[in-house]
Amino acid sequence: MSSRGSNNNINNRENNKEVYNSVWRKISNENPPETSILIVWNKIDYKCPFHDRWWIADNCCSGLHINSLNGLGSRDSQILNMDKEALICVEQIIDDYIYKRVKNTNGFNLKYEIVEIDDI
């Protein structure tokens, strides 16, 4: 999941897809793995209702909790392995977003977009 505020192409879904594909091509000559990126944002200010970052893999059998991607290397930040209990907790949080069950939360009026990373 990502926010619209962190994305440079706010108004064009195809541009978002191309941006992610372009970034992939910069880091790898191989085709990307099957990847779906869910973009969630507040309609008014493009902010996201959550700050933490999670990388979940293997059908929620493993994952990392990253508290600040922008801070890596420049501020105190952490990357933590998540145990099964933490994975279950995060899954409960993100499922409501993945399945677009949350429309309004804490003053956020949410919009959603899914970007599929294709074979290049």
pLDDT in tens, 54-84: 777 766 678 887 766 555 555 566 778 888 8
Please give the tally of structural domains in the chain. Answer: 2
Element at 21 (helix H, strand E): helix 13-27
Check residue 8 and give its pLDDT.
46
Instruction: Read off the pTM.
Output: 0.65
SS3 content of the chain, % helix, strand, coil (to 5): 25, 30, 45
Tokens of 119: 């074979």
Boundaries of domain holding 10: 1-49+102-120
DSSP string, 25-57: HHH-SSPPPSEEEEEEEETTT---S---EEEEE
- Regarding whether 79 and 42 lie in a shared domain, the answer is no
Check residue 60 and give its pLDDT.
65
- Regarding whether 35 and 2 lie in a shared domain, the answer is yes
- Regarding whether 110 and 71 lie in a shared domain, the answer is no
- Regarding whether 37 and 11 lie in a shared domain, the answer is yes
- Regarding whether 36 and 23 lie in a shared domain, the answer is yes
Mean pLDDT of 92-97: 86
Q: Residues of the chain with pLDDT > 70: what percent?
A: 74
